[in-house]
Amino acid sequence: MTHAIIVMGVSGSGKTTVGKALADALNATFYDGDDFHPPQNIAKMSRGIPLNDSDRQPWLESLRDLITEHIEHERSIVLACSALKKRYRAILREGNAGLRFIYLEGDFDLIWRRMQTRDEHYMKADMLQSQFNALEAPLDDEAIVINVKSGLREIIEYALRFIMPPHTD
């Protein structure tokens, strides 16, 4: 079975860690959406300036096309992408029937503490509030919602229960 999954949430919620582990469990290819930002977006975020919708549009379209390519060739994909707004998720879904979202939900204080330990990433902790301000959390029927307080193993097990069809013998 081919899977197309986006692990979404604010910066620091664990999208990359969960996405890699989920891709391994599903024998899927993992991509980090951050790797597809054009240089001008990275430069802007590195200066502490949040991206606006026009900055994100071509980035989201390139991610949508990546997903489409995998689905068309029946290759499973797991993509870490913030997908903070409903319209961003709509762009990613365009032409991608079967695309599923896993929303890593967490409160500001927990994620803030996690971000304080990150120094290798261009998204700095002081920009976290802008992510929470932009977040339009998906409803339960739009995504698998998982609280990030759980450990990685529990998160993956929970996600797989919803992604994998039940086995009948």
Q: How many domains does the chain have?
A: 1
Can you give the residue range of the structural domain that contains 17?
A: 13-159
Q: Give the CA-trace dihedral at 88, 161, 21, 111, to 10 degrees.
A: 60
Instruction: Let me know if residue 133 belongs to a domain.
Output: yes
- pLDDT (tens digit, 9 = 90+) per residue, 32-59? 999 999 999 989 888 878 788 999 999 9
Instruction: Let me know if residue 1 belongs to a domain.
Output: no
Instruction: Let me know if residue 107 belongs to a domain.
Output: yes
Instruction: Let me know if residue 28 belongs to a domain.
Output: yes
Tell me the chain's radius of gyration from C-alpha atoms. Answer: 15
Report the CATH number at residue 85: 3.40.50.300
- pLDDT (tens digit, 9 = 90+) per residue, 116-163? 776 665 555 567 888 899 899 998 889 999 999 999 999 999 999 988
Instruction: Let me know if residue 3 belongs to a domain.
Output: no
- Is pLDDT larger for residue 118 or for residue 6? 6
Instruction: Let me know if residue 119 belongs to a domain.
Output: yes
Instruction: Let me know if residue 8 belongs to a domain.
Output: no
